[in-house]
């Protein structure tokens, strides 16, 4: 077996990486347990991507002292364990192709990195700052300080320092794990931890930077100042960390480090409260977030981040069908434009603008251009990668979609939202088993996260597990009572089970719900498809199109709409939306 791995240090394919120096297989940066022989087989295949590696070549290289019978058993076991680790079914492989009784071929695109390649990016986690005032209703202040620190540090040098996102960081709030245990879980090199105590008009912030490799405390500081100095404290801590990590910042990176969005403490606190409620990701909390962002803007009309927060809240609320689409669109675009007039490079504003262009305007080119601007401005902004991956999935560009979702997960591996939406994009790609596994992981992260139950139910429907799907949807209904997408999904599930009366009862529930709030016609259309009522389904989809409903952005890839794909009326809708038809058999 010709070839050498001497100059190769790692391979990347899909969401996986093989690190030869560590002898590890990783998925989304997290180590996957894999025994030595299966890993050696994978290494041999990766050394010759796209080429056949025969069983005899593998035997000579990896089992030189075994009998032929022992080898047959050993290679079969090794391949089985490798497929299990990669989630790669033998009948329809994405990575390892078997040539019966002859050999194997690695069929996915592979990127290799040599020892001379650019050094690995260092990773930092900012743990939630502890609120030492407990019980005084100031949690938002400590949480907001954590988020601000993550945002500022993420702008230092994103190509050399990656910063774990807020959602994953918050998973470790009040944790009993040691810093080295957290570092191992997150695969980070450094951890910043600290605490906050407020009294009257003063605040004391303590912080320390820990190097995970040897548990060295690189530095520790205490800041005791007037509340009005909090924003200066954040910048001081950022500077100190940068010096401790010995970063040679370019002038433009120095500017990013000292960037200040507002000097108004009241506006800053209102913005932090808005982010706090938006991150809770429920319809009611989106409304509360909007109130706080609007207060921040009243306090400081030049506060670009507050406008970007407002745009982000409105675009998300629009997708949740909390307000009519045209109202959500107008509010999103107005706030995003205001943010970009103040700060033309603001990643948060470009991201909200991009998602709005996709959901409300179906302007796919404009959306992807805005995402590109967002990611160029701040490669560490998780939501830009996450929502870009979501939009790429809408277009049927699934490999690119998963690449963006993988970047989001690298920065925010414990985020229920990012994990759930990764599962959703896999569902659109018809990779149902992988979707189910990702959603199972999401439920482990947050057992009360309603979206995970909803997406898991959709996947169960496609896997033919109809009873499991109903249980997942009913659980989602308990966690988020009356949420229209869940009512629609329950109606579709009962239709697929042949319980037509129950399915129609959910159609009635959606009509009743629409009497008091906006409900997209797209949702009852999904039930009508399950009932075999294509005319009614197409009529509802036409209504959703005329209303500019954001759910129509999924028309190209939603598996529940597959029975309509041969209908000329459906194909006409796709053309009007600028979407190329996706064949269910090739997704």
User: Any long-range contacts for 578-585 (C-beta under 8 Å, 24+ apart)?
Assistant: 578/362, 578/364, 579/362, 579/364, 579/395, 579/555, 580/395, 580/396, 580/556, 581/556, 582/396, 582/556, 582/557, 584/430, 584/559
Q: Answer for the pair 283, 320: CB distance below 8 angstroms, yes or no.
A: yes
pLDDT value, residue 251:
37
Residue 174 gets the label, from left (phi > 0), alpha (psi -120 to 50) or beta, of: left
Nearest-5° Cα angle at 88, 44 to 113 = 40
**What token pair was written down for 295?**
């207060």
Q: How many CA atoms lie within 13 A of 92 on its CB side?
A: 7
Question: Residue 570 domain-assigned?
Answer: no
Residue 297 belongs to domain with CATH number: 1.25.40.10
Question: Residue 134 domain-assigned?
Answer: yes
Please count the structural domains in the chain.
3
pLDDT value, residue 231:
63
pLDDT < 50 positions in the chain: 3-4, 115-117, 246-258, 584-587
Query: Are 251 and 126 in the same domain?
Result: yes
Give every CB contact of residue 145 below 8 A, 6+ residues apart in sequence.
Answer: 129, 196, 205, 230, 234, 272
Give every CB contact of residue 453 below 8 A, 6+ residues apart in sequence.
Answer: 443, 472, 473, 475, 476, 479
Whether the full predicted model's pTM is greater than 0.85, yes or no, is no
Query: Are 129 and 251 in the same domain?
Result: yes
Segment 405-458, tens digit of pLDDT: 988 988 888 888 899 999 999 999 999 999 999 999 998 888 888 889 999 999
Query: Are 131 and 203 in the same domain?
Result: yes
Which residue in the block uniquely carries the two structure tokens 């259309």? 525
**What token pair was written down for 40?**
């050696």
Report the C-alpha gap between 112 and 106 in whole angstroms: 14
Q: Answer for the pair 348, 381: CB distance below 8 angstroms, yes or no.
A: yes
Residue 177 belongs to domain with CATH number: 3.40.50.10070
Report the C-alpha gap between 458 and 460 in whole angstroms: 5
User: What residues form DSSP beta bridges with 103?
Assistant: 54, 99
Query: Are 210 and 278 in the same domain?
Result: no
Question: Residue 24 domain-assigned?
Answer: yes
Residue 64 belongs to domain with CATH number: 1.10.10.10
Q: Of 346, 374, 402, at which residue does a domain stop?
A: 374
Q: How many CA atoms lie within 13 A of 455 on its CB side?
A: 31
Question: Residue 311 domain-assigned?
Answer: yes
Q: Of 231, 255, 279, at which residue does a domain stop?
A: 255
> Residue 360 class from Cβ within 10 Å (0-12 exposed, 13-18 middle, 19+ buried)?
buried
pLDDT value, residue 351:
97
Query: Are 62 and 134 in the same domain?
Result: no
Structural domain span for residue 348: 261-374
């Amino acid at each position: 077996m010709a070839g050498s791995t001497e100059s190769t240090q790692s391979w990347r394919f899909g969401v996986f990486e093989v690190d030869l120096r560590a002898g590890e297989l990783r998925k989304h940066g997290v180590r996957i347990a894999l025994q030595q022989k299966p890993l050696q087989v994978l290494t041999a295949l990766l050394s010759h991507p796209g080429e056949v590696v025969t069983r005899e070549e593998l035997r000579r290289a990896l089992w030189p002292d075994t009998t032929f019978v022992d080898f047959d058993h050993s290679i079969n076991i090794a391949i089985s364990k490798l497929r299990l680790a990669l989630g790669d079914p033998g009948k329809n492989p994405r990575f390892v192709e078997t040539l019966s009784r002859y050999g194997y071929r690695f069929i996915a695109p592979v990127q290799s990195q040599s020892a001379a390649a650019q050094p690995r990016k260092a990773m930092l986690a900012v743990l939630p700052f502890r609120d030492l005032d407990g019980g005084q209703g100031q949690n938002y202040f400590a949480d907001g300080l954590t988020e601000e620190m993550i945002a500022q540090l993420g702008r230092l040098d994103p190509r050399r320092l990656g910063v774990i996102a807020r959602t994953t960081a918050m998973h470790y709030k009040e944790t009993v794990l040691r810093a080295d245990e957290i570092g191992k879980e997150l695969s980070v090199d450094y951890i910043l931890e600290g605490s906050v105590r407020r009294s009257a008009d003063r605040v004391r912030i303590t912080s320390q930077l820990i190097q995970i490799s040897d548990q060295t405390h690189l530095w520790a500081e205490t800041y005791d100042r007037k509340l009005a100095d909090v924003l200066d404290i954040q910048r001081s801590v950022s500077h100190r960390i940068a010096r401790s990590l010995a970063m040679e910042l370019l002038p433009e990176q120095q500017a990013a480090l000292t960037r200040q969005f507002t000097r108004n403490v009241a506006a800053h606190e209102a913005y932090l409260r808005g982010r706090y409620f938006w991150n809770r990701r429920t319809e009611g909390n989106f409304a509360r977030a909007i109130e706080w962002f609007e207060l921040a803007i009243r306090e400081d009309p030049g506060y670009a981040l507050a406008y970007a927060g407002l745009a982000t809240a409105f675009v998300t609320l629009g997708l949740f069908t909390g307000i009519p689409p045209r109202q959500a669109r107008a509010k999103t675009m107005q706030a995003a434009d205001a943010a970009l007039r103040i700060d033309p490079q603001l990643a948060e504003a470009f991201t909200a603008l991009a998602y709005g262009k996709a959901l409300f305007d179906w302007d796919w080119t404009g959306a992807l251009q805005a995402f590109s601007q967002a990611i160029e401005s701040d490669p560490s902004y998780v939501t830009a990668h996450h929502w870009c991956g979501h939009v790429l999935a809408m277009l049927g560009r699934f490999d690119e979609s998963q690449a963006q979702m993988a970047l989001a997960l690298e920065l925010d591996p414990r985020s229920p939202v990012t994990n759930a939406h990764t599962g959703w994009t896999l569902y659109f790609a018809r990779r149902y088993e992988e979707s189910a596994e990702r959603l199972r992981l999401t439920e482990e992260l947050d057992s009360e996260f309603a979206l995970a139950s909803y997406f898991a139910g959709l996947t169960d429907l496609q896997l033919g597990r109809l009873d499991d799907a109903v249980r997942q949807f009913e659980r989602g209904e308990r966690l988020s009572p009356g949420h229209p997408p869940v009512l629609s999904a329950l109606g579709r599930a009962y239709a697929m089970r042949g319980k037509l009366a129950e399915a129609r009862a959910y159609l009635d529930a959606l009509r009743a719900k629409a009497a008091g709030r906006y409900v997209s016609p797209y949702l009852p259309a999904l039930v009508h498809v399950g009932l075999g009522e294509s005319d009614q389904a197409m009529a509802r989809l036409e209504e959703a199109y005329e209303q500019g409903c954001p759910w129509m952005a999924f028309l190209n890839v939603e598996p529940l709409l597959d029975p309509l794909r041969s209908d000329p009326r459906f194909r006409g809708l796709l053309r009007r939306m600028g979407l190329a038809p996706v064949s269910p058999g090739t997704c």
